[in-house]
Structure 1
Amino acid sequence: MQLGDTLAQEALIAGSKTAATTDARGAIRLAVTLPDGAVQHFERPPDGSCADWRAADLEAPGSGFAFDEPVTEQWGHALTIVAHNSLT
Structure 2
Amino acid sequence: MKLGDSLAEEALTTGCRVTRTTAPPDMVRLIITLPDGSLQHFERPTTGGTGDWRAADLEAPGSGFAFNEPITSEWGQGLDHLAHSIRP
TM-score range, shorter chain: over 0.9
- Deviation (angstroms), 1:26: 2.9
List 4+ stretches of structure 1 deviating above 2 A. 23-26
Alignment match, 1:21: 21
Query: Matches of residues 39-78 of structure 1 in structure 2 within 5 Å?
Result: 39-78=39-78
For 1:28, give the aligned amino acid: V
Tell me the SS of whatever aligns to 2:86: helix
- Deviation (angstroms), 1:25: 3.8
Q: Give the TM-score of the pair, scaled to structure 1.
A: 0.93
Tell me the SS of whatever aligns to 2:29: strand
Tell me the SS of whatever aligns to 1:32: strand
For 1:29, give the aligned amino acid: R
**Distance (whole Å) between structure 2 residues aligned to residue 43 and residue 6 of structure 1:** 15
Alignment match, 1:82: 82
Aligned residues: 88
**Distance (whole Å) between structure 2 residues aligned to residue 10 and residue 79 of structure 1:** 12
- Deviation (angstroms), 1:24: 7.0
- Deviation (angstroms), 1:85: 1.3
RMSD of equivalent CA atoms: 1.4
> For residues 51-73 of structure 1, what are the alpha-carbon distances to aligned partners after superposition, in whole Å with 9 as ceiling and x for unaligned?
00000000011000000000000
Consecutive unaligned residues in structure 2, runs of 5 or more: none
Consecutive unaligned residues in structure 1, runs of 5 or more: none
**Distance (whole Å) between structure 1 residues aligned to residue 59 and residue 23 of structure 2:** 20
Q: Give the TM-score of the pair, scaled to structure 2.
A: 0.93
Alignment match, 2:32: 32
